Structure 1
Amino acid sequence: MLSILPLSTAELKNIDSQSIAFSQLSTAQFEGLTPELFFGIGFTQHILLLNKCKDWKERLFYIQKTAENHWTVEMLEWQIKANLYQKQGATIQNNFDKTLPKALQHSSTLAFKDEYLLDYINLGRQRGRNR
């Protein structure tokens, strides 16, 4: 037997309008995400971030870094596995505040954080000696 029931919205007639609580949409958590930033990375990178990152702040961090540095999917995955987000706030232990002038302290710390700093290799001197 087929029975026709009223819609569930019919029950709303009996509800006091002051007892209804409205909440924010889940998209309200996207604070800091601009369309330029969102579309600045590829679909595959978004899928990777959804699968690998636990919270929104971590995803936003990787979206920003990926867009800034033009990371490939492989580089983004490597950075996630290397826990870049968790390590970002970590400071390098040093004695710069005791041994260096105030003007050099900050730039000296940045020199050790630069991932492309290759001064220690001394390639220029080796090439000059071999010729």
Structure 2
Amino acid sequence: MPRDDKSAASARGASAIVGYEDFLSELKSRISSAQLRAVVAVNKELVLLYWQIGRDILNRQQQQGWGAKVINRLAADLQKAFPEMKGFSRTNLMYMRAFAETYPDEQIVQQVVGQIPWGHNVRILDTIKDQTERLWYIQQTIQYGWSRNVLVHQIESKLYHRQGKATTNFNRTLPQPQSELAQQLLKDPYSFDFLNLGKDFLERDLERALINHIRDFLIELGVGFAFVGSQYHLEVGGQKK
């Protein structure tokens, strides 16, 4: 039997299995959710790192009398130590300081603020002064999967004031995998810099770095799932896939 005929026959056989399509759909959903959780975890670690750096700068300025010029020196030294990371410019260090000053509670950063990309957080810092309003926009961004442009539009159109809603709780929710927010999380250059891949990283380097972060999440899926390895060959119908 020609190869195309074999493939077609295999496809017909799979479709004839009772419940197969539902099973496949469920697996796709679970895998997409696990991928998103992994990316959110990387993003949260990055945002938390930035918050900790900002907090430490604040503490030393207050307790040891460091002046504003120390940020220039720190930016130069960090960029020299981590040339592949773009997040240690003087401007970004100033944002880290403002970020820690705006959100003094680390729990809020871990549970809510850390679930949106750094670029979203910077826009909110730049445009909103009220803490309740900030947290409301963050939660709306997570719930509805807003991209940065949509977030900026909603702020400029004063959606918070028009709807008159306030933040009442901090439910741990994730953006939907198909949302624009999820896509921006997956492509966030700050996150890729944080993975320390370098400017000319190869596809296998990216794969390895992401696998290091998603392994634990795949294990959490429970009985029946296992992390076997990357580029693992499967034999289906006598052919290696």
Q: Do both share a fold (TM > 0.5)? A: no
State TM-score, norm by structure 2. Answer: 0.24
State TM-score, norm by structure 1. Answer: 0.43
The one of the two structures with greater contact order (alpha-carbon pairs below 8 A, sep at least 6) is: 2
Name whichever structure is richer in helix by fraction. 2
